[in-house]
A and B are shown apart, each in its own frame.
Chain A
Amino acid sequence: MVVDWFPLWLSLKVAFIATALSLVIGLWLAYLLAHRRFRGMEVLDAAVALPLVLPPTVLGYYLLVLLGRGTALGRLYEWLTGSPLVFTWQAAVVAAMFHAVPLLVIFARAAFESVDRSYERAARNLGASDWRVFWKVTLPLARRSILAAAVLAFARSLGDFGITIMIAGNIPGRTQTMAVAIYDAVESGNGALARTLVVIVSVLAVAILSLANRLVSRQAQ
């Protein structure tokens, strides 16, 4: 049996990029929710968690409607990068982010809120700007929980299926990620390939989860 490794590499690439982008967006949203009081906060709070409860196909459908080649956002992306977004591997990144960002926001927000407020107050009192307080005090004190959250987000990105197949499709050698490849293998009756891929994904998931647990428990000490 010849195993095509492309889906594994693609999944890893997609997960890495999705996690990195999600960290930027997720930490910003988490900090906003943890530290600021503003109008529309409840709405944002609910909206952030929405992707976790909506069926992936529903999300995928929304994204197709929003990002398709005929839409404003789709055209903007095409104008900026020179290629359409949907049914490319970049669309798989967007798909993965829809679960990675909510996870990050939820965990990072809890991490930010668990930082004793008096440290941040002390920093502001000592002349630090909000930006400096965040980089030098809040983030370092919350770093382990956030790292653990990033690891979980990575794991989640690695395994996205529903949204990915809706907006990135199943193009072997171009947009076929692990999860999609497994589905494809089962559909086409290639049981041996499906089993191999399933084992690989499972081992990866266990390894990642134990890493996340190690990070969290070391912080607790």
Chain B
Amino acid sequence: MVELRVRHRFPARPDSAAFALEIEFRAGSGVTVLFGPSGAGKTLTLDCIAGFTAPEEGRILLDDEILFDAGSGVNLPPRARHCGYVFQNYALFPHMTLRQNLAFAAERRPRLERHRKVNEMLERFHLADAAGRRPHELSGGEKQRCSIARALIGSPRLLLLDEPARGLDAPLRTEFYALLRQVRAEFQLPTVLVTHDLEECFELGDEMLILREGRLVQSGPPRAIAERPANVEVARLLGIFNLLPAEVLELNPQRNLSRLRVGDFELAGPYFPGRFRGDRVWLCVRPDQLSATAREGTPGANQVPAQLMRAVELPQSARLEFAGGINVELARAEYERQKSNREWQVGFPQHALRVL
């Protein structure tokens, strides 16, 4: 388990604004994902753990060992930290063959064991045929496997991955996810993965930490965060929600009811604890929770007439973009039934509504 509490400031420079990282978390077994936009401090956090950057203040523990402690002046060099690191571009040594890359990483093992371990890793990651080739002669998948094998060969106590799937095409990405799941099952290593790809969080993450401008804004299992983003900031970062400005008109805890004004319309929602009448809030609802149907006569309860701006047909669903920033996602079959509608209305299921 890695436990970290760090603070690090960068003064403003001519080419960059001032930045402060101030973060505290622990990551246990399984995969912990650091998610956030570029410039949130994700890679910097990883570099602090690996020992490439010494924060100004704080403490980093791996299991029971102190890797860094500003107070007592402990700062282990990267080579003493036993963290496997998979770099964004893999950083395979271009002047060495794949086998030499692995042997370089196994150098600390006794000689006989070293050779055996390299062979074992080559077998395990299906790299034996490519062992004699240099990185530029390897396929994308081989490079990927080699970088992970190299990071694991020294038996690290923690695996760090810096946007490992960035820039990969879809098949390689799928291959990579499978590979990481295999590594996870076989090595049982606590893993910290940096990404700005939400899909990756759901594919691989047990625990998700959302970073923004150097701070942790929410943490929890990916599913739970997607269900309940802590605030409008998180909801925006996840980028999967409809966020509509609204006003609380009425709250009724006894009947678990509320009424909201959204634009020109009123919607009924569940009771929102901690809110008051007159509060200005954001209505937050996922596109797949809404319905879109043909408008006939006066709209019913929680049905809002809407003007369709654009329909995007996705491989498995369709996204309907309505005026006012309302997106609705329909399953393929449902979209086929509805697509000839001329006038539309959007339905907001009462109990799916959340406010932030």
Identify the A interface with B (CB < 8 A). Answer: 116, 118-119, 121-129, 132, 136-137, 140-141
The tally of residues in B whose CB lies under 8 Å from a CB in A reads 24
Cβ of B104 and Cβ of A128 under 8 Å apart?
A: yes
Closest to A130 in B: B77
Among A121, A127, A129, A140, the residue within 8 A (CB) of B91 is A121
**Complex A-B: 6 CB contacts under 8 Å:** A116-B91, A119-B91, A121-B78, A121-B91, A124-B78, A141-B95
A127 near B108 with CB under 8 A, answer yes
Which of B32-40, B54-62, B82-90, B309-317 interfaces with chain A?
B82-90
Complex contacts, A119 vs chain B, CB 8 Å: 91, 93-94
| Residue B50, interface by CB 8 Å | yes
| Chain B contacts for A127, CB-based, 8 A | 79, 105, 107-108, 154
Q: How far is the CA of A129 from the CA of B80 in the complex (A)?
A: 10
Q: Is the CB of A136 within 8 A of B104?
A: yes
Closest CB pairs A-B (n = 10): A122-B91, A118-B91, A126-B105, A124-B78, A125-B85, A127-B79, A140-B95, A127-B108, A125-B78, A118-B87
Chain B, range 147-191, C-beta contacts under 8 Å to A: 150-151, 154
Interface presence of B25 (CB below 8 A): no
Beta-carbon contact of B104 and A125 below 8 Å: no
Contact across chains for B107 and A122 when beta carbons are under 8 A apart: no
Contact B89 A124 (CB under 8 A): no
Question: In the complex the two chains form, is A118's CB within 8 Å of B93's CB?
Answer: no
- Docked Cα-Cα span, A136 to B104, in Å, equals 9
A125/B50 in contact, CB under 8 A = yes
User: How many whole Å from B108's CB to the nearest CB in chain A?
Assistant: 5
Q: B52 within 8 Å of A by Cβ?
A: yes
Q: Do A126 and B154 have beta carbons less than 8 Å apart?
A: yes
Contact between A129 and B79 (Cβ–Cβ < 8 Å)? yes
A127-B105, A129-B79, A141-B94 are contacts. A122–B87 as well, Cβ < 8 Å?
yes
**Contact between chains at A124 and B79 (CB < 8 Å):** yes
Contact A137:B107 (CB < 8 A) given known A121-B78, A125-B50, A125-B83: no
Interface centre among A122, A125, A132 (most CB of B within 10 A): A125
Shortest distance between the CB of A130 and any CB in chain B (Å): 9
B residues in contact with A118, CB < 8 Å: 87-89, 91
Interface string of B95-115 (1 = CB under 8 A from A): 100000000110110000000
Using a CB–CB cutoff of 8 Å, the interface residues on chain B facing chain A are 50-52, 77-79, 81, 83-85, 87-89, 91, 93-95, 104-105, 107-108, 150-151, 154
- By a CB distance below 8 angstroms, the chain A residues around B51 are 124-125
Name which residue of chain A comes closest to B88, CB basis: A118
Among A116, A122, A126, A129, max chain B CB count under 10 A is at A126
A126 to B106, CA, bound (A): 8
Q: How far is the CA of A122 from the CA of B79 in the complex (A)?
A: 10
Residues of B within 8 Å of A123, CB to CB, are 93, 104
* Complexed CA–CA distance, A129 and B83 (Å): 15
A123 to B95, CA, bound (A): 13
Chain B neighbourhood of A124, CB < 8 A: 51-52, 77-79
Q: A121 contacts which of B52, B81, B151 (Cβ < 8 Å)?
A: B52
Which residues does chain B contribute within 8 Å of A129, judged by CB atoms? 79
A122-B83 contact in complex given A128-B104, A136-B104, C-beta closer than 8 Å: no
Closest to B80 in A: A127
**Contact A128/B79 with A137-B93, A141-B94 known, Cβ cut-off 8 Å:** yes
**B contact residues around A140 at 8 Å (CB):** 95
For A122, the chain B residues whose CB sits under 8 A away are: 85, 87, 91, 93, 150
Whole-angstrom CA separation of A121 from B151 in the bound complex: 12
Q: How far is the CA of A129 from the CA of B89 in the complex (A)?
A: 22
A122-B85, A124-B77 given; name 15 further pairs at CB < 8 Å: A116-B91, A118-B89, A119-B91, A122-B87, A122-B150, A124-B52, A125-B50, A125-B51, A125-B83, A125-B84, A126-B105, A127-B105, A132-B107, A141-B93, A141-B94
The contact of A126 among B52, B77, B150, by CB within 8 Å, is: B150
Give the docked Cα–Cα distance between A122 and B77 (Å).
13
Interface centre among A124, A127, A137, A140 (most CB of B within 10 A): A127
Q: How far is the CA of A119 from the CA of B85 in the complex (A)?
A: 12
Contacts of A136 in B (CB 8 A): 104
Chain B residues, Cβ within 8 Å of A132? 107
B160 nearest in chain A by CB position? A125
| CB nearest to A128 among chain B residues | B79
Bound-state CA distance A127–B152 (Å) is: 12
Residues from chain B with a CB closer than 8 A to the CB of A141 are: 93-95
Shortest CB-to-CB span from B296 to chain A, Å, is: 61
B324 → A minimal CB distance (Å): 46
What residues of A have a CB within 8 angstroms of the CB of B94 in the complex? 119, 141
A127 to B51, CA, bound (A): 12
Chain A residues with CB under 8 A of B91: 116, 118-119, 121-122
The interface residues of chain A lying within 8 Å CB-to-CB of B79 are 124-129
B93 cross-chain contacts in A, Cβ below 8 A? 119, 122-123, 137, 141
